[in-house]
Amino acid sequence: MKKNIRLIAGAIILIMLLLFVSATGTDTFTTLLLLAGIVLIVVGLRGRKVEANPHVLPSLTKEREAHYLKSGMSTREIELFRDTMNQSKQQIDQLQKNIARNNKLKAIDLRHDALRASKALFKELVKEPTKLPLANHFLYTHLPNMVDLTDKFIEINEHEIKSRETYEKIEESTQIIEQMASLIAKDYSQFVADDLDDMDIELSIAKQSIKRDNE
């Protein structure tokens, strides 16, 4: 369909160009230049890629909508949830970029697995959206602060000339980022704690069953 529209538009432009040439008596060389210019403009427009706006929510699939509704969420709650998760997704992506840019940040992440914990907690929330309040500290405090801190850390660390005060700020920032990474890892552990408790119960029941069967 789009291809047909482009062909029709091209034909109209060509006809208009021929009428213009006929009416003005433009020579062949000038006509060819005009035609070449039009072709270049069209090719240029077709080659342009529109960058996705990260603030625009992706389309909600029927399956995902059904999942949210089945969880007991209202339409308004779904909208708020998706807004929150979209913002968190952007923050996690930015955190990943920041960590990849600096070896100190990589080392901190290796010690605490903050990035992995963030992604895992995000996935858990998508699966169980009604548990959003349990992740308040992560979503509204720890994750945003972690992104802001690493943003500023990279900015300061990349200064061409560093004073004594700069090095002190870098060291202080490193310590705070380390603590924040630990908190994010703790956020994930606390979020899945109930699942671990349920697993303990299941294991205990299974062990008792095995013990009875062996008696």
Q: Examine the pLDDT at 132 and tell me if it is beyond 70.
A: yes
Convert the pLDDT of each residue in 162-191 to its tens digit: 899 999 999 999 999 999 999 999 999 999
Delimit the domains of the chain by residue range: 2-46, 62-204
What pLDDT, on the 0 to 100 scale, is given for residue 205? 44
pLDDT band with cut points at 50, 70 and 90 for residue 193: confident
What pLDDT, on the 0 to 100 scale, is given for residue 19? 62
Neighbours of 59 (CB within 10 A): 6
For the residues 126-139, what does the mean pLDDT come to? Answer: 94
- pTM above threshold 0.95: no
What is the spatial distance between Cα 151 and Cα 8, in angstroms, rounded to a whole number?
A: 50
